[in-house]
Structure 1
Amino acid sequence: MTCLLKLLYVCCSLLLVAAATAPNFAAQINTIPMLSGMNFKSWKESAEIVLGCMDLDLSLREDRPVATPDNPNEAKIEKWDRSNRMCLMIIKRSIPEMIRGSIAESESAKGFLETVEKFFAKNDKVETSSVLSKLVSMNYKGKGNIREYILEMSNLASKLKALKLELPEDLIVHLVLISLPSHFSQFKVSYNTQKEKWTLNELISHCVQEEERLKREKTESAHLATNSQNKRKRTAGNSSQNKKAKEQPAGVKCFFCKKYGHMKNDCSKFAAWKVKKGLPVEPSAK
């Protein structure tokens, strides 16, 4: 009775674990995109990553174990068969039925994946031409990060190497330098006049330093230009004020006629106004 209870406890525990991991299992599978004519590479990478994280990729990495009289390998064969079966189901699930019907069936997950790859394989010549054209036509616009820009060119060179067209590192360095804008002219002349050759990593380091230096110079120039402009404005303002001060007549100002040189009581216009109003007029009015 005790053994039966233990067995029931183990079975319940396994069921609980399976129920808990089922949603996570499905979520991982759903991260594999559906295969199309444009995304084979990313589809294959996603499938291999998911199967590897789920520890189901044994059949993709190794051949099926062989049973012998001395070593039946039952456990290994069972594990491999499970991996092969699960891989086939998961891979086929991410292939639309329209495409799947055009691909020959295979009992091996590895063989089936290789058949799919051949079905979607691109013409190497066309892809090489496309990647090389993109590499030689790249130009750095001065926006973003120059390190990322050079790494992007390096990545294109790596793709060419995978297509069996390996470019020397010296050539990649020169392609990067050629693609830099005119404000790197002094930097390029400095490299071309020295005897030493840079590796791609050294080029990245020097380019980052040069870009930071150019940015500092640009900031300082803008600051100096702003200060110079403000100084000219202040000088112009002071000159205008001095000119007005020089043009302003000396002496007191009449509050009646607004002219300089006499006060209101001495103003002839003020006196005339007083006469018109019948007010007494002082004899000193001018």
Structure 2
Amino acid sequence: MHEHVLEMTNLAAKLKALGMNVDEFFLVQFILNSLHPQYEAFQINYNTIKDKWNVNELSCMLVQEEGRLKQQEQNSIHLVGHGAERKFGRKPGKGAKKGPPKNNGPADAAQAPNKGLKDKCHFCRKEGHYQYDCPKRKAWFEKKGIPYNLKPKSK
């Protein structure tokens, strides 16, 4: 901070050498306005007091404020939450249903292999046919003017 005040004082001296007179209280305001935003409370405090400082007093006060900010910075803690992490880009609630599989006993066990094999269309979501046999899908393709193949592509 001391170097910053010296740099600003040197700029004022160069301006004075060029014939432009820089008032000391203007230089104090210029230094205050060039400070980092973390010194905003210090600037407000200076503007509220009735006594105005010269460059040397401002330099001493800024060095003290710099020490206070460094001490405050050492005592800070940064908390990071890991509560709602998503794995592999999946949205929460998507995928397999939670909970144990429903099984009502031996009668269900005999029917279980055939239960999930019903034909279901992935286009209209109706049972009884597959997507490549779907009449709604065929109509959609004809409406768009795209040729429609009834047979699925072989893998």
TM-score (norm 1): 0.27
Higher helix share: 1
Quick check: which has more Rg, 1 or 2? 1
Which structure's relative contact order is higher, taking Cα pairs within 8 Å and 6+ residues apart?
2
TM-score (norm 2): 0.50
